[in-house]
Amino acid sequence: MATRMTINGVSTCTAGEKYEKFQMKIGRKVRTMYQYDYRDTLSGELFSCVKPTLDECRRLRDEWIKEKEDRL
């Protein structure tokens, strides 16, 4: 998978969110997927996922943020 969001496999996301839509062939089917990166502006931690919809990526990001806040 070629992506503009990484250089040598490392995310180029600096702060906030960045996403890219791509198509992936599974057997004979072509599926549209989203690569989603979110870098926390305070801690600099990176959340990254690949899901079929942008809404699902953002839902997982929100759960990740909530889990981080609960640990504090």
Domain residue ranges of the chain, discontinuous segments joined by +: 6-70
pLDDT at residue 9 in the model? 60
Q: Return the CATH class of domain 6-70.
A: alpha beta
Cα 26 to Cα 30: distance, rounded to the nearest angstrom: 6
Q: What is the mean pLDDT of the chain?
A: 85
Cα 72 to Cα 69: distance, rounded to the nearest angstrom: 5
Q: Which residue has the higher pLDDT, 7 or 52?
A: 52
Q: Which residues contact 13 (CB under 8 A, 6 or more apart)?
A: 5, 37, 38, 39, 46
Q: Please state the pTM of the whole predicted model.
A: 0.80
When pLDDT is averaged across residues 12-28 and rounded to a whole number, the result is: 85
* Residue 6 binned pLDDT confidence (cut-offs 50, 70, 90): low
pLDDT at residue 51 in the model? 95
Q: In Å, how far from its chain's centre is CA 8? A: 17
